[in-house]
Structure 1
């Protein structure tokens, strides 16, 4: 049944306009860059927030990387061949079929997308309405271009999201404590990365000179 769905999607992809196929080919990789941009925007936004907000922003890409690592580890357990090699009579994929040994299950792209969507939503409430559709589109694009089965991307999304959620929840308190400590230091580079936060920002004059009258 999963093979039939894969074939249906790939055959449909072959009948779509050239611009849509091109967009799918680009999006399957470019979506990762968009998530990276959202991580950077979330970090910049959190520089003026409290320590917990900054901790969540810093944990988002780390949790996503952890989701990818778990997905990659599972690939070596299941050793599932790519459908573009295994499914007899399948149309040629829209992109180059990965070499044998680059296993199919679960989809790393989908795991990264699911992890990023959840981690960003935890760090920046309200972005779930953007990140969830982006993650779903990225996962679907991996089947559309012909390099994954539907179950590869479904499990990848769920796995990445679950791992990221657990990682962020487990790391928020220690990360917030670390950010709070960093914000009390004197290293300019560390302060720039960690941000001043609302309390520290209130003790800085507009000219950038600390108020020492207290």
Structure 2
């Protein structure tokens, strides 16, 4: 374990040294991405929910579960932080290059990285709910994790564990809650409340009933 932590320390210094050799605009881009990436995941959650309003009950259930599973990933990560109490490298490592951003306040612990946990959970949850999007979400999550080391506020082992923990928690939540949420979506789509139906969409049945003469097809 000590060898792994020493390797993480060494990688942190190498990455931060490299960060200081990059152009100023690139450093700013990395700084912005550490926060913007989270916003983009939120946009993808909304887009996934919207496109599944005409999808099956199962597809809508997964789209609704994706942000919930991500939230669980964050909660678990935050719980681990309070148990481990690892100091940020930008304070703990004497003689290290200065971080590119302000070092988080004392008490804002380093292990694991919440940003990475959210990114890992979001990437996996979206991949489970939106076929083919893993080719976008996986690189986004990896870049998010790397950016946290690049700007100097996390060790490599912080972001690695964050990604893995977030992804595992998201997978468990998506699988465990899938069946009851499918039943909930099916019930909501049969609701007499137009607001409830709008939230979950009418699904494929809505498209069929909207066709001219659609209600008469079963009589023939």
TM range (shorter): over 0.9
- Say if 2:131 is the partner of 1:125: yes
TM-score normalised to the size of structure 2?
Answer: 0.93
Deviation string, structure 1 residues 60-95 (Cα, Å, up to 9, x no partner): 000000000000000011000000000010111111
Pick aligned residue for 1:37 from 35, 43, 56: 43
Match of 2:58 in 1: 52
Partner of 2:4: none
Q: Are 2:79 and 1:73 equivalent residues in the alignment?
A: yes
Match of 2:70 in 1: 64
After TM superposition, the structure 1 stretch with the greater mean CA deviation from structure 2, 107-116 or 2-11, is 2-11
CA distance in 1, matches of 2:196, 2:145: 36
Matched, 1:116 2:122: yes
Distance 2:10 2:168 in 1: 28
Q: Which segments of structure 1 move beyond 6 Å, counting only runs of 4 or more?
A: none
1:146 and 2:123 correspond = no
For 1:87, the equivalent position in structure 2 comes to 93
Q: Which runs of 5+ in 2 are unaligned?
A: 1-6
- 2: CA distance, partners of 1:212 / 1:19: 63
The alpha-carbon deviation at position 199 of structure 1 amounts to 1.6
The TM-score normalised by the length of structure 1 is 0.95
Q: CA deviation at 1:53?
A: 0.2
Distance in 1 (CA, whole Å) between partners of 2:143 and 2:102 is 20
2:108 maps to 1:105 = no
Cα deviation, 1:110-155, whole Å, max 9, x if unaligned, reads 0000000000000001001110000000000000000000000000
Pick the structure with more helix per residue.
2
Q: Deviations over 1:153-206 (max 9, x none)?
A: 000000000000010001111000000000001111111110000023312356
Structure 1 Cα separation of the partners of residues 28 and 216 of structure 2: 59
Q: Measure, in 2, the Cα distance between the counterparts of 1:181 and 1:80.
A: 46
